[in-house]
Amino acid sequence: MSSAVSDVCAHAPLPAREGRVLVLLARTAERHPAGAALLRAAAGTVLGVPAEEVLVDREPSGRPVLGGAARGLHASVSHVPGLSAVAIGARGPVGVDVERLRAVPAAALARRWFGAREAGWLAGRPEAERPLQFLRMWTQKEAIGKVLGTGLADGGLLRPVRLGAPAGTVLGPVPGSPRFYIALPPAPEGFVLAVAGGPEAAGSRLEVLTLPPPAAPPDHGAACPSRSAESGAARTSGSEA
């Protein structure tokens, strides 16, 4: 992981840093690990409280709603085999999506699902680069859908996203779509990660941290995640609600 990864113990709790969105990553073996347990662990870590003090409910759409000690914070979670991601912010709804980097028929999929501008842009990329760029676009669209609480319904795959954006940790505007702000933070090698927010989150900076898997026994004496030693994500890569 890059220098964007920081130790949450070194800072004030998230509510005191409203210009930040915390992105917490956990290595998970299951395709659908216990999302509520992961959210409680992540929010507890952010707030410095035991996970049991965090309540998790769901909207009818499936978007998580935090309560208890985390009331007022906004959260999103995404899983793929090998990695789970949670985004937590205090400035309006957030969305996170993670995908495993893999070979896909990117140009054909883009022609089928995306708008003509995005499909044409992707077709102009070198063939070896297309799967990465396709998955970067896909994760952005998923993340925006989670901000809205609708997923990819109502034309979600046609919503514009940032094209060719490098990995970064500041939520930047989406050309042609002033309602949304997106960042592609560094991710563990072999994964693609996107985080989105609404107008309230404009300019927010991401902090990317690692958590132990949610099944690990809680250690309230060492509640903070460790600084990740992984590297190289910025060179190789930029569900649930």
Asked, for residue 2, whether it belongs to a domain, the answer is no
Q: List, for the chain, all residue ranges whose pLDDT scores fall below the cut of 50.
A: 1-12, 16, 214-238
Burial environment of residue 56 by CB neighbours within 10 A (0 to 12, 13 to 18, 19 or more) = buried
Contacts of 143 (CB under 8 A, 6+ apart): 76, 95, 96, 97, 182, 194, 195, 196
pLDDT at 3: 29
Helix, coil or strand: residue 97: strand
Q: What integer pLDDT is reported at residue 73 of this predicted model?
A: 92
Q: Running DSSP on this structure, what letter comes out for residue 69?
A: T
Q: Is residue 1 part of a domain?
A: no
134 domain residue, yes or no = yes
Q: How far apart, in whole angstroms, are the C-alpha atoms of residue 150 and residue 61?
A: 7
Token pair 């309560």 is found at: 67
Could you tell me which residues come within 8 angstroms of residue 152 by beta carbon, excluding any fewer than 6 positions away?
Answer: 141, 142, 145
Total domains in the chain come to 1
pLDDT of 150: 87
Beta partners for 182? 172, 196
Place of tokens 């007022």: 72
pLDDT number for residue 13: 54
pTM: 0.80
Burial annotation 156-165 (CB, 10 A radius, 16+ → b, else e): bbebbbbbeb
Q: Helix and strand tally (H, E) in the chain? A: 5, 10
CATH number at residue 19: 3.90.470.20
Give a yes or no: residue 13 inside a domain: yes
**Tokens 């941290």 belong to residue:** 209
Domain range spanning residue 23?
Answer: 8-236
The confidence score (pLDDT) of residue 30 equals 61
For residue 214, give both structure tokens.
Answer: 């949610």
Q: What is the pLDDT of residue 19?
A: 73
